[in-house]
Each structure stands twice: as C-alpha cells, then as structure tokens.
C-alpha cells in the first residue's frame, strides 16, 4: 500500500485532489522504476555468477579443447544407411530412425557405429559417437594394401578381402568400399559373399581387418627374425 504524501493542506477542492493524484502517480512511478533497476541488477549478478568458474568443478583447459577439436577434424564420417524403425506399443506405434555410420582418418584407423533416435540428425550423431568408441587399427603395407588375404564373417555376412598391387585402386562395393576407403586402403579387392545387409557387411569387414597380421607381428609372436620367417636367411 502506497502512502499518499500530504502535498496540500486545507479544504479538499478539485485542485487539491488533482495535485494529490499527481503526487500519488509520481510516487508509484518512482517505486516501479526502482524495482525495475533492482531486477536488472539482480539479473546481471546472476549472469556474472553463471559465467564465473565454480570452485570444485574441473573445467578442461583450452589446450585440451583444441586437441579434441583437432582429433574430431582428423576423422571423416560417411552415412552408410538410414532406416525408419517402427515399434508397436500399447498406445500405438513409436517411430524412430536407425543410422549406420563409418568413421576413419584414412591413415589406418576405422570404426563402425549404429544408433537409433527420434530424429535423423540425432541418430547420425549418436552413431558417430558409437563408431569412435569401436575403432580398429588396419595393418597396411607399403602399397597401402592388405598384408595378406582374409575372410571376415559376422552373422550371415561374409566378406572376402584380397591384397592388390600399386595402381589397382579399391575394387569393392557397398559398405565394404566405404570401410576400406576411410581405413586408408588405396589398393585392394573386396567382395560380399553373404547377406546384403550394409551393417553386417561393414562389421564383417572389421572382423577381417582385426584378424590381419603383418610379418613383423607374426615374427614377434613366434620369436623369430623377419628374415627367417620369410625364408630369406642363408
């Protein structure tokens, strides 16, 4: 309740009433202006506190953030498949999207991820994170090809991988070609022998890559020099 100041004294005439109303309006406007200024000052203090680092919370240094951005920039991603998935529930049907994404740095590291979300962009982002959690190192020789032939099997999918000489290129199709290109393979053969499911073929390609071994790795496992393993010692 705002107290009206005694602006005038004496008998209440029309002029005194008007002056009293003017005084009352000025007081109300002054109080509302003060409340508005207090609210602005309070909001500024809250914003400053939110921007200030909180004690007890580990904020990553700028160098780590830059390093993470560089690592993200080094990986390339390709969407292999996007499918609409419908789940029947008690209240009706739930619509979602499943994305299959392959990530790689074209230098010997590749991964395959699969995730679902209510939107396409969300599914692709989640699949990208899943692919980076399951990275595989690819043993490449001097021709940027496989060290030996291998067959990768995952479920009903079977993928045949064969090395090739320099200048051949990547001769493969579907998800196998995407995985090999992002892995950094420049020369090689790939053939899908089982199902045509892109997800299973991509994972079968990874299983074949996991089973590959270089001459140096096999020599270390057997405790022999590389020359004896290849039959080059006298």
Q: Which domain holds residue 130?
A: 74-136
**98-153 pLDDT, tens digit each:** 999 999 998 889 999 999 999 999 999 999 999 999 899 988 888 889 888 999 99
Ramachandran region, residue 13 (left: φ > 0; alpha: ψ -120 to 50; beta: rest): beta
Predicted pLDDT at 207: 93
Whether residues 94 and 142 fall in one domain? no
Q: What is the CATH number of the domain that holds 196?
A: 3.30.230.10
Is residue 2 included in any domain, yes or no?
no
CA distances to 109, 114, 213, 223 from 86, rounded to whole Å, are 34, 16, 42, 54
Q: What is the CATH number of the domain that holds 89?
A: 3.30.160.20
Is residue 63 included in any domain, yes or no?
no
**35-81 pLDDT, tens digit each:** 777 777 777 776 776 665 555 545 555 555 555 555 566 889 999 99
Whether residues 132 and 79 fall in one domain? yes
Torsion of CA 161, 163, 167, 169, to 10 degrees: 10
Whether residues 173 and 207 fall in one domain? yes
Using alpha carbons, select from 202, 194, 229 the residue that is nearest to residue 213.
Answer: 229
Predicted pLDDT at 75: 87
Whether residues 81 and 104 fall in one domain? yes
Whether residues 88 and 117 fall in one domain? yes
Count of CB atoms situated within 10 Å of the CB of 59: 9
Residue labelled with tokens 């700028």: 62
Q: Is the pTM of this model over 0.75?
A: no
Is residue 194 included in any domain, yes or no?
yes
Is residue 101 included in any domain, yes or no?
yes
Q: Is the pLDDT of residue 185 over 50?
A: yes
Is residue 191 included in any domain, yes or no?
yes
Q: What DSSP designation does 184 have?
A: T
């Amino acid at each position: 309740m705002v107290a009206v100041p005694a602006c005038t004294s004496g008998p209440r005439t029309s002029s005194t009433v008007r002056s009293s109303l003017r005084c009352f309006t000025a007081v109300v406007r002054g109080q509302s202006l003060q409340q508005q200024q207090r609210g602005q000052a309070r909001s500024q203090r809250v914003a400053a506190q939110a921007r200030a680092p909180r004690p007890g919370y580990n904020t990553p240094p700028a160098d780590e953030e830059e390093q993470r951005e560089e690592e993200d920039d080094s990986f390339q991603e390709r969407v292999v498949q996007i499918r609409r998935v419908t789940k029947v529930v008690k209240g009706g049907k739930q619509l979602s999207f499943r994305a299959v994404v392959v990530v790689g740095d074209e230098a010997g590291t590749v991964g395959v991820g699969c995730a679902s979300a209510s939107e396409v962009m969300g599914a692709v982002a989640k699949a990208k994170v899943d692919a980076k959690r399951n990275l595989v190192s690819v043993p490449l020789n001097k021709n940027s090809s496989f060290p030996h032939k291998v067959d990768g099997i995952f479920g009903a999918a079977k993928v045949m991988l064969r090395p090739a000489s320099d200048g051949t290129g990547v001769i493969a199709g579907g998800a196998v070609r995407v995985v090999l290109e992002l892995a950094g393979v420049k020369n090689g053969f790939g053939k899908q022998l089982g199902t045509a499911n892109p997800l299973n073929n991509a994972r079968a390609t990874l299983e074949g890559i996991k089973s590959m071994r270089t001459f140096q790795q096999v020599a270390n496992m057997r405790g022999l020099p590389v020359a004896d393993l290849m039959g080059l010692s006298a």
